[in-house]
């Protein structure tokens, strides 16, 4: 386990910024405690100082996961956000997409969101903007990338993809073995 280098921190913040914008400050600087990011086996974890001190005394081979995993660095040093970060993205998300009850299941199985399944979308969403996907009952289901801007969403035909799927809570069941 080690702290992130400057380049790694920059990569993580850029990725998070795509979904929550300048609200990352609220993650870094929390009033209820000191939280930090640590890297363990190429995965980025978000944990409190208290937990960090406890985890520091566990040998590296035995440590499975300290704190919440936000994502991992691939072999070519690109940062990939995983669904376990959803709890921290959802409250601070800037652009949200609500999905109709009929196509919730489709999204939870890993498919993209089509125009026919789109319930609501935040105004001013740009194309390829990171969005967090909710059900109509405001339950966060996952996150993705907007395939079309809000303007275009109005004019496009019902079978076009409006949100590219990136992660959903169904992965907790599907990828149980590889998720940390």
Partner 1 sequence: MAAVRVEAVLAAAEEQEAEKRRSITVEKELELEYDLGNLLAVDRNPPPAAALRGAGQRREALLRALARDNTQLLVSRLWELPAERAGGAGGPLVAQLPEPTFRLPREKPPPKPRPPTRWEQFARLKGIRRKKKTSLVWDEQAKEWRRRWGYRRAGGDPSRAWLAEVPAGADPEEDQFARLRREKRERVARNELNRLRNLARAHRAGSAVPAAPLHPTGHQDRDELRRVARVARVSTASLGRFQPRLPKESAEPPSRSGGKKRRFEPLLGNLAAERSRQLEMLRDMGKKKPVLDITRAVNKQMRQEEAEAAAANKGKKQSKRGKRGRRQQRPGRSGKKSGARRQPQQQKPAGGGTGGGRRKKA
Residues that bind partner 1 (CB under 8 A): 1-3, 5-7, 9-10, 13-14, 17, 22, 24-25, 28-29, 34, 36, 38, 49, 52-53, 56, 124, 126-127, 149-152
The least distance separating partner 1 from the CB of residue 27, rounded to whole angstroms, comes to 10
Measured between alpha carbons, how far is 70 from 44 in angstroms, rounded to an integer?
6
How far is 90 from 153, CA to CA, in rounded Å?
22
Q: Cβ of residue 24: shortest distance to partner 1, in angstroms? A: 6
Nearer to partner 1, 13 or 98 (CB): 13
* Cβ proximity to partner 1, 27 vs 163, nearer residue: 27
Q: How far is the CB of 93 from partner 1 (least distance, A)?
A: 17
Q: How far is the CB of 142 from partner 1 (least distance, A)?
A: 25
Report the C-alpha gap between 155 and 116 in whole angstroms.
12
Residue closer to partner 1 (CB basis): 51 or 93 = 51
**What strands lie across the sheet with 2-3, from one edge to the other?**
2-3, 35-40, 43-48, 68-73, 79-81
Q: Which residues contact 13 (CB under 8 A, 6 or more apart)?
A: 24
* Dist. CA 96–CA 33, nearest whole Å: 28
106: enclosing H helix or E strand: helix 104-108
58: its two tokens = 């566990």
| Nearer of residues 28 and 169 to partner 1, judged by Cβ | 28
Minimum CB–partner distance for residue 169 and partner 1 (Å): 28
Nearer to partner 1, 24 or 179 (CB): 24
């Amino acid at each position: 386990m080690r702290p992130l280098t400057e380049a790694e921190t920059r990569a993580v913040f850029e990725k998070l910024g795509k979904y929550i914008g300048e609200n990352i400050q609220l993650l870094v600087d929390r009033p209820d405690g000191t939280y930090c990011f640590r890297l363990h086996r190429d995965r980025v974890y978000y944990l409190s100082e208290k937990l960090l001190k406890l985890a520091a005394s566990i040998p590296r081979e035995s440590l499975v996961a300290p704190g919440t995993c936000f994502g991992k660095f691939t072999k070519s040093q690109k940062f990939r956000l995983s669904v376990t970060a959803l709890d921290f993205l959802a409250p601070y998300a800037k652009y949200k997409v609500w999905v109709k009850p009929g196509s919730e299941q489709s999204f939870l199985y890993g498919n993209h969101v089509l125009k026919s399944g789109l319930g609501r979308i935040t105004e001013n969403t740009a194309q390829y903007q990171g969005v967090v996907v909710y059900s109509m009952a405001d339950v966060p289901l996952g996150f993705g990338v907007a395939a079309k801007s809000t303007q275009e969403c109005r004019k496009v035909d019902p079978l076009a993809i409006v949100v590219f799927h990136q992660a959903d809570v169904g992965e907790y069941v599907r990828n149980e073995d590889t998720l940390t």
